[in-house]
Amino acid sequence: MEGRRAVSAVLALAFLIGPLVLSSYWIGLLTQVVILGLLAMSLDILLGYAGLPSLGHAAFFGVAAYAVAVLSTGYDAGFWTCVIGGILIGTALSAALGAIVSHVRDVYFLMITLALGMVLWGLSYRWIPVTGGDNGISGIPSLESHAGLPVSGPLVFYYVSLLVAAGCAAMMARLVRSSFGLTLRAIRENEPRMKSLGFNTWLHCYLAYVIAGLFASVAGVLWAYYNGFVSPTYLDLTASSELFLMVTLGGPATLAGPVVGAGLIVLLKNVMSAYTARWLLVLGMVYIVAVLTAPQGLWNLGHRRRT
């Protein structure tokens, strides 16, 4: 436990102080880690705590990003309208889909979320008048100018993203330690027994799905402002698979682990791809080694998983 706290302190200092001495390129990579780490934590609520493996979670991320793009470029909406609109639309989508998928478990849950995610990807690809199709939507204003901040630049956006992600992480940490979070873990371990004790397991899983969609939507809003561009790739199977990998690689049911997984994958994608076109092979090897040496995730290395 002491070792884990020490690592947490080092990582916190790195996120807080590191960007002050780094170039714009590395600040950009750290910004990606922060936003995708938030997205991975949202999936951890489903995968790690509720035991619901989703392969369509990137859909909420992508839909929220698209909402920001459409509102800002198509309707010239203000900053808060875009932010709130993106979060509400992504969350509403998770509420609608959650009513369908929360009735099933295990591989059935996996396959249905995969199918729904692919439907949304196909819609974003074919609904050209709204989404721009394969060309996507560009011209999203920077967060600093859209929000009317007096300062701008990569460092400003990084710290805004870090503040938002830290706030969301604190809320998720409180959630998983609450009676609701403990009930989710119990459902993950033995759902029939929880039903026999009178718990509404469907409602708990449904709420977990909606809450995860909400935080994924927050990440999607940040990502839209970070890139200034959205495309169907944000909703495709590759995006959801990478997200799934971030959680399992870092360590499910930890919240911090998915951030570590996000950092590792972002660095591999951006650093290794500069040296070899076969960076996916390297990522696969890293994942295999991690599974063999730390089957419960890198964050749980040397620690027993707590339920």
Concatenating the DSSP letter of every residue in 23-85 gives -HHHHHHHHHHHHHHHHHHHHHIIIIII----S-THHHHHHHHHHHHIIIIIS---HHHHHHH
Does the residue 88 lie in any domain?
Answer: yes
Counting the structural domains of the chain, the total is 1
Q: How distant, in Å, are the alpha carbons of 98, 192, 202, 269 from that of 198? A: 21, 10, 12, 47
Does the residue 294 lie in any domain?
Answer: no
- pTM of the complete model: 0.94
Does the residue 127 lie in any domain?
Answer: yes
Tell me what pLDDT residue 91 has: 98
Consecutive 10-residue runs of the chain (307 residues): their mean pLDDT?
76 91 93 98 97 95 98 96 98 96 93 94 94 94 91 93 97 97 96 95 97 98 97 92 93 94 91 79 83 85 55
Taking alpha carbons only, the member of 171, 247, 180, 234 closest to residue 207 is 180
Tell me what pLDDT residue 307 has: 43
Does the residue 93 lie in any domain?
Answer: yes
Does the residue 257 lie in any domain?
Answer: no
Does the residue 244 lie in any domain?
Answer: no
Domain that holds residue 151: 24-236
